[in-house]
Amino acid sequence: MNENHYDIAIIGAGASGMMLAANLDLESSRGIILEGSSCIGSKILMSGGGHCNITHGGSIKDFVYAYGNEGPALRRCLYRHNNLELVRWLSGHGVELADENGDPVDASYGSNGIDSAGRIFPASMRSRDVLDALLGEASSNGWQIETDAKVGGLRKDGFWEITLINGYELWAKNVVIASGGITYPETGSDGSMLEMLEDLGIDINEPRPALAPVYVENYPYAELSGISVPDVTVIAFSSDAAYTCKGKAARMKGDLLFTHEGLSGPVILNISKYVEPGELLRLCYNRDLHELPRRMQRILRERSRGILGDVRTNVLASYLDHDDFTVSGVDERGMVTAGGVSLDEIDMQTMSTKRFEGLYVIGEALDADGITGGYNLQMCWSTACTCADAISDKKE
């Protein structure tokens, strides 16, 4: 085999690319990982504020809803390579896990899932430990990793012909796209591979930020920056229904965080992908006025004053369950990307594209994204391991 011919090329050394390499022993095959940036696993390192919320506790059956409309298509991958398997794999590679209370997560639970609620982290709370485990196993599986190897062209000519932006060319029988989405482009995830796939005729659903803070017009809560209110219901109305308030786009409940510039916290991050500028966002606080933070009570009283300066109690009461705002924008720096390669293009039993033999897509490059809580890294794991199974079967 020529020096620049490979059996498998993975494009992207992020979570999904590294999870694939850590689960695919090359044996006598040749495999290369092409990473466009100078750093491997940047988003693993920044995940969970550097602590890496790697997955979520509970039964994997409860995961499907976390991916919205794409959940049912992911079900098979999630069941086949579940959160328990991920925890066991990490434990087996020296990374002990803990739940969000710091209690150890025991990898010996039954096959349905992990008997521990909430988010799961490495017990060390260091993302680096997760990345090191993946790197160690990828290296023992025989993978060659090249950084500063940004792919600028991909075409099928018998083999897959891959051209780097520095002009270097290589060929591979199988190519796995693990190039992530469009957010945090400074990490290398800039959506360039999605454009190349679109040029090949693959259907790409428009990528946009998700898990992002939301900005609203006439935001009155800047001075509450850093204050959060638990269990707030947030309803995003779709634009054609904004004035009638009949057609809801999404409704979610969770903790709301006020920031200096806008709204954040888990409930806002989770609903952000359903929100568009110009649309109506409704906050329902689900509590009496006196149960809200004092400074917020004062702002609500001021907002409900009539022209004579009197507090109109009916207006004040309505703010508690109808605090309505017009969305002015969604922060570009979403933690994940909604949109990407349409799941209709993918055989979800193998992660292969239906159009092209030997072309696979895994991780955030897919049009699949989850709510906060470890669901996105779990999706990377489940799709990467499904792809590893398919390529291994093909080798036999």
Ligand X SMILES: Cc1cc2nc3c(=O)[nH]c(=O)nc-3n(C[C@H](O)[C@H](O)[C@H](O)COP(=O)(O)OP(=O)(O)OC[C@H]3O[C@@H](n4cnc5c(N)ncnc54)[C@H](O)[C@@H]3O)c2cc1C
Give strand pairing partners of 97.
Answer: 122
The answer to whether 270 contacts ligand X (rule: CB under 6 A) is no
- If binding is defined by CB under 6 A, does position 151 make contact with ligand X? yes
| By the rule CB under 6 A, 367 interacts with ligand X | no
Q: In degrees, to the nearest 5, what angle opens at C-alpha 272 toward C-alphas 271 and 277? A: 125
Nearest to 168 by CA among 352, 362, 353, 9: 9
Query: Segment contacting ligand X (CB under 6 A): 2-10, 140-148, 186-194, 308-316?
Result: 186-194
Amino acid at 303: R
DSSP assignment of 294-308, as one string? HHHHHHHHHHTB-TT
Q: Judged by CB under 6 A, which of 12, 262, 265, 358 binds ligand X?
A: 12
CA–CA dist 224, 201 (Å, integer) = 48
The helices-and-strands tally (H runs, E runs) of the chain is: 10, 20
Closer to ligand X by Cβ: residue 40 or 263: 40
Chain length of the chain? 396
Q: Are 27 and 142 in contact (CB under 8 A)?
A: yes
- Is residue 264 near ligand X by the rule CB under 6 A? no
**Segment near ligand X (CB under 6 A), from 101-109, 188-196, 222-230, 299-307?**
188-196
Interface with ligand X (CB under 6 A), residue from 8, 9, 10, 13:
13
Residue 235 backbone phi and psi in degrees, to 5: -120, 125
332 touches 214 (CB < 8 A): no
Task: State yes or no: residue 47 binds ligand X (CB under 6 A).
Answer: yes
Per rule CB under 6 A, is residue 346 in the interface with ligand X? no
Q: Rule CB under 6 A: say whether 48 interacts with ligand X.
A: yes
Q: Fill in the per-residue mask, 318 to 337: x = in contact with ligand X (CB under 6 A), - = not in contact.
A: -----------------xx-
Residue where the block lists tokens 């659903």 = 205
**Identity of the residue, 89 or 237, whose beta carbon is nearer to ligand X in the bound complex:** 89
Confirm or reject binding of residue 271 to ligand X (CB under 6 A): no
- Up-side HSE of residue 262: CA atoms within 13 Å toward CB? 18
Minimum gap (Å) between residue 211 Cβ and ligand X: 7
Q: Is 376 in the site for ligand X (CB under 6 A)?
A: yes
Contact between 16 and ligand X per CB under 6 A: yes
Q: Which is nearer to ligand X, 100 or 324 (CB)?
A: 100
- Which of 227-257 are b and which e, b meaning 16 or more Cβ less than 10 Å from the residue's Cβ? bebeebbbbbbbeeebeeeeeebbebbbebb
Choose one: 166-174, 182-190, 222-230, 288-296; the region binding ligand X (CB under 6 A).
Answer: 182-190
Residue 68 binds ligand X (CB under 6 A): no
The binder of ligand X chosen from 6, 63, 89, 184 (CB under 6 A): 184
Q: Which range touches ligand X (CB under 6 A), out of 14-22, 93-101, 247-255, 257-265?
A: 14-22
Contact between 254 and ligand X per CB under 6 A: no
Total residues binding ligand X (CB under 6 A) = 39
CB of 289 to ligand X, least distance (A): 35
For residue 347, report the phi and psi dihedrals to the nearest 5 degrees. -80, 105
Alpha carbon separation from 313 to 261, 299, 319 (Å, rounded)? 28, 14, 10
Can residue 340 be called a binding residue for ligand X (CB under 6 A)?
no
Instruction: Write down the least CB distance from residue 209 to ligand X, Å.
Output: 10
Q: How far apart are CA 212 and CA 271, in angstroms?
A: 9
Q: What residues make contact with ligand X under the rule CB under 6 A?
A: 11-17, 34-37, 42-44, 46-48, 52-53, 150-151, 178-180, 184, 187-189, 192-193, 335-336, 363-364, 374-377, 380
